Chain A
Amino acid sequence: SYELTQPLSVSVALGQTARITCGGNNIGSKNVHWYQQKPGQAPVLVIYRDSNRPSGIPERFSGSNSGNTATLTISRAQAGDEADYYCQVWDSSISWVFGGGTKLTVL
């Protein structure tokens, strides 16, 4: 089976840069998508195919993917960025996989 590993939590000071990682075997060969989920709300797509931002997502959100780690980077973090973040990939052996999620706290 294919697993995605995310840190349970990440903290960042207001205005600083947060980096949330997603680890998986040779994940660099896959397309990674990232979702933001605020309490009581549905997930929202923030990055698709490693590094692309959907319309309406601020430029502060960016992504990269290489080797065994994909990274979601949030620059100039704001209080409104506090949320759970999930990475996702398609693996032909087991279909769709989500990471366990990372809770981002903005201090």
Chain B
Amino acid sequence: EVQLVESGGGLVQPGRSLRLSCAASGFTFDDYAMHWVRQAPGKGLEWVSGISWNSGSIGYADSVKGRFTISRDNAKNSLYLQMNSLRAEDTALYYCAKDWGYYYGSGNAFDIWGQGTMVTVSS
């Protein structure tokens, strides 16, 4: 069964850091680009970051550029999101999503999504 399972969310104070993880199974992880997408409570979807199959190409939304870092470990079938200098507006459910292709900016759809991990930034 194709599956993505996120972890690492929680309550964190503004300015602190958090690292999210996404464990993939059921498909050849290193054949595909991966993404993080977030959804603030009661709001729509917002793309956060994407990484190509071999980590050769990476992109970020302007809202997180310089604060968040995406990475992957193909040997461990895992995707990560290091979030630094967290702000209240980063509070959201963070989804890990599989790209249909190998390059994060090829315009392919996101065909598999995890259930998400909640990040709450509050003092």
Stretch from A17-25, A65-73, A75-83, A89-97 contacting the other chain: A89-97
Q: Does B10 contact A (CB under 8 A)?
A: no
**Contact between A92 and B46, CB atoms less than 8 A apart:** no
Q: Which of B59, B95, B106 interacts with A43 by CB under 8 Å?
A: B95
Q: Does B44 contact A (CB under 8 A)?
A: yes
**Contact between A90 and B95, CB atoms less than 8 A apart:** no
Given A96-B47, A101-B44, A45 contacting B115 (CB threshold 8 A): no
Residue of A nearest to B61 (CB): A95
Q: Which of B44, B60, B105 interacts with A98 by CB under 8 Å?
A: B44
Q: Which of B46, B105, B114, B115 interacts with A90 by CB under 8 Å?
A: B105
Min C-beta distance of A23 to chain B, whole Å:
15
**Contact between B111 and A45, CB atoms less than 8 A apart:** yes
- The complex places the Cα of A41 from the Cα of B113 at a distance, in Å, of 10
Number of interface residues of A (CB under 8 A): 27
Taking CB atoms, residues of chain B closer than 8 Å to A98 are 44-47
A residues whose Cβ falls under 8 Å from a Cβ of B: 30-31, 33, 35, 37, 41-45, 48-49, 54, 84, 86, 88-90, 92, 94-101
Q: Which of A30, A35, A49, A94 interacts with B45 by CB under 8 Å?
A: A35
**Contact between A48 and B109, CB atoms less than 8 A apart:** yes
What's the A-B contact tally at a CB cutoff of 8 Å? 59
- The complex places the Cα of A33 from the Cα of B113 at a distance, in Å, of 14
| Apart from A33-B109, A48-B100, A95-B61: 10 A-B pairs, beta carbons within 8 A | A45-B109, A45-B110, A86-B44, A88-B110, A89-B107, A95-B59, A95-B60, A96-B47, A96-B50, A98-B44
Taking CB atoms, residues of chain A closer than 8 Å to B107 are 30-31, 89-90
The 10 A-B pairs of least Cβ separation, nearest first, read A96-B47, A48-B109, A90-B107, A33-B109, A42-B113, A101-B44, A98-B45, A31-B107, A100-B44, A95-B59
- The complex places the Cα of A41 from the Cα of B123 at a distance, in Å, of 28
